[in-house]
Amino acid sequence: MTTPRIVDFRNVVEPVAAPFDPVKVLAGAPQATVANHYSDPSQQFHCGIWASTPGKWRVSYSEHEFCHLLEGRIRLTGSDGVSVEFAAGDAFVVPAGFAGTWETLEAARKYYAIYEKSP
């Protein structure tokens, strides 16, 4: 059995475009990139770095996501109307089942760790 290798985020992973579904965009013209550093063999767990320019779009989470905001400022608003803002240095979890909007107020960059249960 081979020992798994440690995933070092200091290693450069080239970001790739992560386009938004235009139907979900509510404001601005946000552009996003993702640099996925790791996906487990089951394809249920992923982690890396995501970045976005300002804009607002609808979200509906089927996955659990841990976020640590490295740069910028964002606002999450649930379908119940409750809003929470986060800035660089803040960490938070978006649980599966959350629906509402994600708004990038200032260009943002975050570490993410996503877990999606198998169907």
Amino acid at 32: A
- Helices then strands, counting H and E runs in the chain, come out as 0, 9
CATH superfamily of this structure's domain 16-115: Jelly Rolls (2.60.120.10)
pLDDT range class, residue 1, cuts 50, 70, 90: confident
Given this model, what pLDDT does residue 2 score? 83
Q: Which of 44, 46, 54, 51 has the alpha carbon at shortest distance from 16?
A: 51
> Alpha-carbon Rg of the chain, whole angstroms?
15
Share above pLDDT 90 across residues of the chain, in percent, rounded to a whole number: 94
Q: Quick check: helix, strand or coil at residue 6? A: coil
Mean pLDDT of the chain: 96
The span from the CA of 60 to the CA of 102, in Å, is 10
Model confidence over 45-58: pLDDT tens digits? 999 999 999 999 99
